Structure 1
Amino acid sequence: MQASSATSDDERDLLAWLEDEPAESVADDVAAFRARFRPADAGRWTHGDLRVLEAAAERVLDMADRLRPQLLAVHLPVPGELYEVSERVCGALLDVAGWFAERAVQARGLGGERNVLCLGGLGLLSGVFILSGLAAAPVPAGVWRQVHRLARAAELMRAAPDDPARCAYLRLISVAVSQPEGLTGRELAWAFEFIDARVLAVAGFAAGASAGSAASWWIDTDADLAPQAAARRPLPEDTARATQLWYFNPRPMAQKLGECVEWITAHMTAAELAGMDCEVEPLASEEGAFPAGLSSLEALALLRRLRNHWMATPVREQPRRQNQYMVQVCMGLTAVWELGCSGRAEPGQVHEWVVLNESPAGLAIMSVAGAQANVEAGVALALRRDPQQPWAVCVVRWIRSEMPGQIELGLQVIGLSFQSVKVGFRGRAVQQLAPALALPVMEPMRRHPAMLAPAGTYASRRFVFVRDGTGVYIAQARALGLDMQTQGVELFQYEIDPYPI
């Protein structure tokens, strides 16, 4: 690509610096970048030598790539210094993406240059989404405005289904409508790699009011606004405005995921019969359809959740009321199981959190212990308000961290009490008992008792469970199907088998 103007001495100096080795620390590198590329001088980069802009993009993307493994390696909430570095790198990515968008608008008549600019800008904004998600931080203000601006400049409504810029845009939309705050860092990174042209080619994507439906998400490309679910937020009453919106329907993609779920299930069955450990075996297909990073079990759980989100928009059935009081929290299935066995918590096992709002089916809590939280989406926890009350069992549905050291969890209540048991399924190549929590009936959400066990425990219809108490209780039961599966736990209802064999 040719430069649009003669290269000045300043630009040659910038190119030399950008092409030199980066600072060893990402914090130092982003500080040096900020000193040379000030937002106030944006006009220089949108009208100057394009090579400078491209080199700047490579430099900030390199910062993001170096920061990503650091974020993946820590528990939430992210330590304050790392959180702040992530914010600064996201700011740099957003600024450079904005310069790409401005240049793309100017290059409307130059198809090749415009397409490269739009794709490059969307790649930078994808980096913002991933870093923000890994830190459980909100997406910075202005990101969606630039995403939509680049999409308009690329004229995506006229683009072919496999157009790279169209795929990059729809990938961002697809992740945004999948409740990314409910994904672990590894799941989020895997999803960005997995959602490719083969999946996105079948997505419903059109403009005009006639394209909308109850299953659609509407997109206001003139606003700094994420996709909005039609089932949650009605379309604008202004008919003229509604005709200018874009509409995205992920349901056809959910049907496509069914093929992937079937392939992984067959892969796991074959591995189980061969005596292999499918829970930790890396996932790979002959077609190369699955990226590295998740085991078969983890990928299966993630694809099922993505399919559920894409098939039907989750809508809160019961409003939450604001409240504020302290609760005790025991984090993790193993810790909760041990708590049920001993009847008392070990030192450091229980921490205090504050409830922000609640409903019969769930609540939101905030940590008052800062970096002691060590939590991720999909884990189980137990909480209670008063030592005289039984422990309620919950699953973490989403995580948000709007500032360093602070973390907020959205919880789904799955049991108002529990008992610690061990379960074993028939048909497993390796016969062993797994720790589980026996949960009572929870009307109207659950009409049968249930088991919460480590992910991968459920293997067949029949299983046995053992409960220690004043005596040992052993029973055979029939599982009634998998109700929930995350990367860490799974929930299934059951009934006592009246005809054990």
Structure 2
Amino acid sequence: MTDTVFNAAGTERTATIPSGIRSIQQWLEMPLAPQPADELPLLRAHLKALREIDGTLPQRVRILDGLYSRSTMVTSRLIPSLSVDLVLPVPRKTRRIVRSLLDLLQMLADDTLAQLDVHDRQHVPDKERQLALWRSVYVLAQQLMISDLIASPARAGTWLLLHQTYAEARRLQLHATVPRGEVHSLQHLYHAAILLGWAQPASLTAREVLFLTDYFERFANQIEPLSSSAAVNAATLCIDPLRDAAAMSSFRKIALPTADLDCYSIAGLCALLKVQIAQLDAGTPPQELNLPDFAGTPAGRGVLVRLSVRWSNSGKRRFQRRMQNQRALVGAGIDGLWQLSQKGTAANVELSTWMITNESPEGYSVMHVSGNIGALSVGDVAAVRTGSDQNWQICMVRWAVSENPEHLELGLQILAPRAVPAILAQPSDGSTGTEHLRVLILPEIPKLRTGQWLIVAAGALPKHRDKLLLVIEEENVAVREVKSIYVDEQTGSVEILSIEPDQDPF
């Protein structure tokens, strides 16, 4: 029997895989490979071999248990490496590893569910059925989360299989109890998975996806089932259990629902979010709130705030989108935008070309055509110039979708029609005197925003520094003293502050 393995360069080679229960058991007793990706082809090959091997039910269950345990260990070792400094679109080597990992998890889900038919015929105790269902939900939820990490759409059929597996567990009344050796019930795993899908993972970075995965694992018990006839509000999500899709807003009209909808209220979770944000702002460490450490960072707090705002309103679109096919130039990052705002086309900034696929007064959906996009990611700022317009609009990347290494789509929200480049002077922590940071001032927009915004790199400002000194060089050099009155938004890349002139001396 043969299968494909990856060498250190990420290319493929063929390896001979032994078959037979004894040989699989001997392999399971061997230590893990130094590189966890090397385990993936071998695990898939042994799962394939197990389907063809004759053996008693206890023997097959024992081998599948071993392959499941080894697969979950390999997955837990691989996932952190997928989220560290991940850039989009994901490189080919990384995407091949992810595809191999997703194949493995799908095989585990299929084989574990196939056990249920055998259990039914042989009248196996309910605890064995419960464990098989629990493991299937777990690996399916892992599949969905890994797709979210690389901004890729979920595989066809994954959501449907997850919904069906949970429905079967409910039918057997095995969803609410915790299997031996596990921490959470199958219902808890399912609720955490649908919450992550409801959180719009395309609008998250890989680190933020892992953060919310951890967060929902801790607080998924805050959502409450509702009847489909319950009052519709912004804090209600619905699931069509016979549709291959994540949860959707209760405000959305579903054409020809295929079954009675499963509805959930997240009002309790929204209230908890607001309390946690207030406590973090008051200086309470995240550990005392049973929050992941990431919640104590600007990006972590920003994710919680965005969830709280998004889940507390209907999210109805204010403007209709118009289909487009015009080209646009895009520059990324605060430094790039600073130079473009300062020098225009004379700036030494690497630009990329994108196709605008649709637009509205609030922003654009764009698809990459050519050019190096650098480290542009969700939560970063970008400058966009369309057609013959000489102005660079200042936008924020709100979501990203990448189906393959040649494909990347972004959603850009327009923050301002232009920016004023400035230098922020602040005392340095060391003995080097004053530190100078490049920042962007976004002017007020009549009828939309009365005040000015200041865009700074994430974590660049001390938490409680309100008074700021800005140096602006246009036709003349001007020095402005301003104060920060509110943090409008925090992401892993930037912070946006509302500012106003400071009348008091420093």
Taking structure 1 as the reference length, the TM-score comes to 0.82
State the AA in 2 paired with 1:159: A
Residue 330 of structure 1 contacts residue 351 of structure 1 at CA under 8 Å; is this kept in 2?
yes
In structure 2, C-alpha distance between the alignment counterparts of 1:79 and 1:142, rounded to whole Å: 25
In structure 2, C-alpha distance between the alignment counterparts of 1:356 and 1:346, rounded to whole Å: 27
The offset of 1:177, in angstroms, is: 0.9
The offset of 1:138, in angstroms, is: 1.1
Matches within 5 A, 1:455-474: 455-456=458-459, 457=461, 459=464, 462-474=467-479
Residue 218 of structure 1 contacts residue 235 of structure 1 at CA under 8 Å; is this kept in 2?
no
In structure 1, C-alpha distance between the alignment counterparts of 2:250 and 2:217, rounded to whole Å: 25
SS of alignment partner, residue 209 of structure 1: coil
The offset of 1:207, in angstroms, is: 4.2
Q: Over residues 16-75 of structure 1, what are the superposed CA-to-partner deviations in whole Å (9 max), with x where a residue is unaligned?
A: 334434555555433333334349949989977222222222233234233323322332
The offset of 1:437, in angstroms, is: 1.1
Residue 465 of structure 1 contacts residue 476 of structure 1 at CA under 8 Å; is this kept in 2?
yes
1:302 equivalent in structure 2: 303
In structure 2, C-alpha distance between the alignment counterparts of 1:325 and 1:384, rounded to whole Å: 11
SS of alignment partner, residue 326 of structure 2: strand
Q: Can you give the 5+ residue segments of structure 2 that lack an aligned partner in the other structure?
A: 1-18
Residue 352 of structure 2 contacts residue 370 of structure 2 at CA under 8 Å; is this kept in 1?
yes
Q: Over residues 82-107 of structure 1, what are the superposed CA-to-partner deviations in whole Å (9 max), with x where a residue is unaligned?
A: 11221221122122113323434765
In structure 1, C-alpha distance between the alignment counterparts of 2:55 and 2:365, rounded to whole Å: 44
- The alpha-carbon distance between structure 1 residues 345 and 213, as it changes in their structure 2 partners (threshold 3 A), is same
Candidates 53, 67, 71, aligned match of 1:60? 71
- The alpha-carbon distance between structure 1 residues 394 and 286, as it changes in their structure 2 partners (threshold 3 A), is same
Q: Can you give the 5+ residue segments of structure 1 that lack an aligned partner in the other structure?
A: 1-8, 269-282
Candidates 79, 83, 102, aligned match of 1:90? 102
In structure 2, C-alpha distance between the alignment counterparts of 1:100 and 1:43, rounded to whole Å: 16
- The alpha-carbon distance between structure 1 residues 44 and 248, as it changes in their structure 2 partners (threshold 3 A), is farther
Asked whether 1:103 is paired with 2:92, we answer no
Residue 327 of structure 1 contacts residue 385 of structure 1 at CA under 8 Å; is this kept in 2?
yes
Asked whether 1:70 is paired with 2:91, we answer no
1:326 equivalent in structure 2: 327
- The alpha-carbon distance between structure 1 residues 355 and 439, as it changes in their structure 2 partners (threshold 3 A), is same
In structure 1, C-alpha distance between the alignment counterparts of 2:233 and 2:446, rounded to whole Å: 32
1:31 equivalent in structure 2: 41
The offset of 1:331, in angstroms, is: 0.8
- The alpha-carbon distance between structure 1 residues 419 and 214, as it changes in their structure 2 partners (threshold 3 A), is closer
State the AA in 2 paired with 1:337: W
2:489 equivalent in structure 1: 484
In structure 2, C-alpha distance between the alignment counterparts of 1:157 and 1:234, rounded to whole Å: 32
In structure 2, C-alpha distance between the alignment counterparts of 1:338 and 1:361, rounded to whole Å: 24
Matches within 5 A, 1:271-282: none
Q: Over residues 403-428 of structure 1, what are the superposed CA-to-partner deviations in whole Å (9 max), with x where a residue is unaligned?
A: 123211111110111110134699x9
Matches within 5 A, 1:156-167: 159=176, 164-167=185-188
Matches within 5 A, 1:117-128: 117-128=132-143
The 10-residue stretch of structure 1 (340-349 or 120-129) with the greater mean CA deviation from structure 2: 340-349
In structure 2, C-alpha distance between the alignment counterparts of 1:358 and 1:296, rounded to whole Å: 33
The offset of 1:221, in angstroms, is: 1.5
In structure 2, C-alpha distance between the alignment counterparts of 1:291 and 1:499, rounded to whole Å: 39
In structure 1, C-alpha distance between the alignment counterparts of 2:168 and 2:99, rounded to whole Å: 27
SS of alignment partner, residue 402 of structure 1: coil
In structure 2, C-alpha distance between the alignment counterparts of 1:46 and 1:354, rounded to whole Å: 58
State the AA in 2 paired with 1:249: S
Residue 257 of structure 1 contacts residue 303 of structure 1 at CA under 8 Å; is this kept in 2?
yes
In structure 2, C-alpha distance between the alignment counterparts of 1:359 and 1:46, rounded to whole Å: 62
1:115 equivalent in structure 2: 130
- The alpha-carbon distance between structure 1 residues 247 and 375, as it changes in their structure 2 partners (threshold 3 A), is same
The offset of 1:147, in angstroms, is: 1.4
The offset of 1:385, in angstroms, is: 2.2
Q: How many aligned residue pairs are there?
A: 472
Candidates 229, 236, 249, aligned match of 1:209? 229
SS of alignment partner, residue 234 of structure 1: coil
Candidates 88, 91, 95, aligned match of 1:79? 91
Q: Over residues 241-278 of structure 1, what are the superposed CA-to-partner deviations in whole Å (9 max), with x where a residue is unaligned?
A: 66x3211222311211223222322338xxxxxxxxxx
In structure 2, C-alpha distance between the alignment counterparts of 1:182 and 1:138, rounded to whole Å: 13
In structure 1, C-alpha distance between the alignment counterparts of 2:281 and 2:237, rounded to whole Å: 30
- The alpha-carbon distance between structure 1 residues 371 and 424, as it changes in their structure 2 partners (threshold 3 A), is closer
The offset of 1:145, in angstroms, is: 1.6
The 10-residue stretch of structure 1 (186-195 or 162-171) with the greater mean CA deviation from structure 2: 162-171
In structure 2, C-alpha distance between the alignment counterparts of 1:370 and 1:388, rounded to whole Å: 20
Residue 215 of structure 2 contacts residue 291 of structure 2 at CA under 8 Å; is this kept in 1?
yes
State the AA in 2 paired with 1:183: L
Q: Percent identity?
A: 24
Candidates 195, 215, 239, aligned match of 1:174? 195
Residue 20 of structure 2 contacts residue 49 of structure 2 at CA under 8 Å; is this kept in 1?
no
In structure 1, C-alpha distance between the alignment counterparts of 2:424 and 2:56, rounded to whole Å: 63
Q: Over residues 257-311 of structure 1, what are the superposed CA-to-partner deviations in whole Å (9 max), with x where a residue is unaligned?
A: 223222322338xxxxxxxxxxxxxx65246x13345653222112112222332
Residue 166 of structure 2 contacts residue 175 of structure 2 at CA under 8 Å; is this kept in 1?
no
SS of alignment partner, residue 195 of structure 1: helix
In structure 2, C-alpha distance between the alignment counterparts of 1:210 and 1:258, rounded to whole Å: 24
The offset of 1:485, in angstroms, is: 2.1
The offset of 1:315, in angstroms, is: 2.9
Taking structure 2 as the reference length, the TM-score comes to 0.82
In structure 2, C-alpha distance between the alignment counterparts of 1:472 and 1:46, rounded to whole Å: 83
- The alpha-carbon distance between structure 1 residues 210 and 44, as it changes in their structure 2 partners (threshold 3 A), is farther
Residue 135 of structure 1 contacts residue 401 of structure 1 at CA under 8 Å; is this kept in 2?
yes
Please tell me the root mean square deviation across aligned C-alpha atoms, in Å. Answer: 3.5
Candidates 157, 160, 179, aligned match of 1:142? 157
- The alpha-carbon distance between structure 1 residues 285 and 23, as it changes in their structure 2 partners (threshold 3 A), is closer
In structure 2, C-alpha distance between the alignment counterparts of 1:387 and 1:46, rounded to whole Å: 73
The 10-residue stretch of structure 1 (445-454 or 36-45) with the greater mean CA deviation from structure 2: 36-45
- The alpha-carbon distance between structure 1 residues 395 and 150, as it changes in their structure 2 partners (threshold 3 A), is same
In structure 2, C-alpha distance between the alignment counterparts of 1:211 and 1:77, rounded to whole Å: 41
- The alpha-carbon distance between structure 1 residues 418 and 346, as it changes in their structure 2 partners (threshold 3 A), is closer
SS of alignment partner, residue 201 of structure 1: helix
2:361 equivalent in structure 1: 360
